[in-house]
Amino acid sequence: MGMPMRIGVLASGRGTNLQALLDAQAAGRLGAEIVVVVSDNPNAQALARAHRHGIPTRVLEPKDYGSREDFDRALAALLQAHRVELVVLAGYMRLLSPVMLQAFPQRIINIHPSLLPSFPGLNAPKQAWRYGVKYTGCTVHFVDEGMDTGPIIAQRVVPVDPQDTVEELAAKILREEHRLLPQVVRWLAEGRVILQGRRVFIKEDDGC
C-alpha cells in the first residue's frame, strides 16, 4: 500500500460535505487523507469542523489580494506547501482562475446540487423546484474555467415529490451529496477515474 492521496478541501460555508469526507476518512472509507482545509470566509463553520478533527486550516480573504489571479496564486502556493494532490471544492463559492487550474490540472473536483448541465450556478435546488422537474440530484465534476461546466464524474438522482418544499428538496439532495462525494474521492484515490475529453469512465474495482 502506498501513502494515501493528500486532499485539500476548499469550503466557504457550513461544511456539511466536508463533514461527510471527515466521517468517511475516520471510518476508513475515503482512501485518502485530508491535510488542509482552506476557506475564503473566516466565519465558515467548515473551519470549526476541521478543527474538531485536528485538520490544519487556513483563511485567505479576497479583500487582501489585488486580483482573482493574485488570490489564486496564494491559494495554489498554500496547497502546494501542504503537498496536496487533489483539491475538493465542498461548498466553495468562488470561481477558480486559470492560475489554480494550471497548478492542479485535472486535479480539482466540485460537487453541485443538480444534475448538470441542468441548473448550474447558485440556488440549484430552487431552480429545479421552480422549473417543475420530476427528477434532480447532485453531480461531482472536474473543474474548468466555467461555472459548473467541467467533465462529469458521477451523479445521483433525487425524485422530486409534488409535496416537497424547496427546503425539503434541498435536504434530500444534500443527503445524496454526502454519499456521492466521498465515493468519488475514493475512486480518484484508487486511480479508477479515467478522463477522455469530456467523458469520464470509472474502472471496475479489481478487488485487490
Of 51, 53, 82, 112, the active-site residue reads 112
Burial class (CB in 10 A: 0-12, 13-18, 19+), 166: middle
Query: For this structure, is 53 an active site residue?
Result: no
* Residue at 79: amino acid letter: L
Sheet architecture: strand order including 32-39: 57-59, 32-39, 5-10, 86-89, 108-112, 135-142, 152-159
Q: Which helix (H) or strand (E) holds 192?
A: none
Backbone angles phi, psi at 78, to 5 degrees: -65, -45
- Catalytic residue numbers read 112
